[in-house]
Amino acid sequence: MLPLLIVVTIKDAELEQQSKEFLNVFLKNIQSGTIERIDGDEWRETRYYIEEVSQKRIELGFTASDTAIFIFSSDIDSLLEVIGSVILQR
């Protein structure tokens, strides 16, 4: 017997919106220069956003791995550029 394959999809527009929102909150925190302690109050909005997206994706049937891939595959070039500029300013 073959394993059951479940296909979960998300609309392109929703995926794009989630990506933009995540990048906005994440880059705002990076640009503030508070990269040493992501458990601090400054990162509350980013942590909340990740929790919110994770919950929405669970409700749609995505796995935790699917959500992690979404978070870590966001526009990495933009992230690295901003992180690099923050580090160089120090």
- Which candidate, 87, 89, 80, 88, places its Cα nearest to that of 27? 80
Q: Has residue 63 been placed in a domain?
A: yes
Question: What is the extent of the structural domain holding 63?
Answer: 15-89
Q: What's the structural domain count of the chain?
A: 1
User: Residue 10 and residue 45: Cα distance in Å, rounded?
Assistant: 24
Q: What is the mean pLDDT of the chain?
A: 78
In a domain, 8, yes or no: no
Q: What is the pTM of this model?
A: 0.68
Indicate whether 4 belongs to any domain. Answer: no
Asked if residue 83 has pLDDT above 80, the reply is no
pLDDT, position 2: 60
What local confidence, expressed as pLDDT, does residue 79 receive? 66
Long-range pairs for 23-29: beta carbons < 8 A, 24 or more residues apart:
23/74, 23/75, 23/78, 23/79, 25/49, 26/74, 26/79, 27/78, 27/79, 27/82
Query: What is the Cα–Cα distance from 64 to 52, expressed in whole angstroms?
Result: 13
